[in-house]
């Protein structure tokens, strides 16, 4: 899947595309902490597909001063 946009709506479309590709599988995605991965618009979708989709986040980056 390709897109010209990098926003929560495009990520939501990617999630739907991914689940459509693996209809009888549990999908685990390893993600960073980009805002689009935590957007409120995703919450209903994630709740609806919680049995099929799991997010694992990298630890937050430590800022050195």
Q: Rounded to 10 degrees, what is the CA torsion of 45, 51, 52, 58?
A: 80
In the prediction, which pLDDT does 15 show? 97
In the prediction, which pLDDT does 65 show? 66
Q: What is the pLDDT along the chain (65 residues), one digit of tens a residue?
A: 788 889 999 999 999 999 999 999 999 999 998 999 999 999 999 999 999 999 999 988 766 66
Exposure string over 8-43, b if 16+ CB within 10 A, otherwise e: beebbeebeeeeeeeeeeeeeeeeeeeebeeeeebe
In the prediction, which pLDDT does 19 show? 97
Q: Give the span between the Cα atoms of 13 and 2, in whole angstroms.
A: 10
Q: What is the CA radius of gyration of the chain?
A: 13
């Amino acid at each position: 899947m390709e897109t010209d946009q990098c926003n929560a709506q495009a990520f939501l479309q990617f999630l739907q595309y991914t689940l459509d590709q693996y209809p009888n599988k549990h999908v685990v995605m390893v993600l960073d902490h980009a805002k689009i991965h935590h957007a409120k618009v995703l919450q209903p979708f994630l709740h609806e597909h919680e049995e099929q989709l799991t997010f694992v986040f990298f630890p937050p980056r430590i800022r050195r001063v």
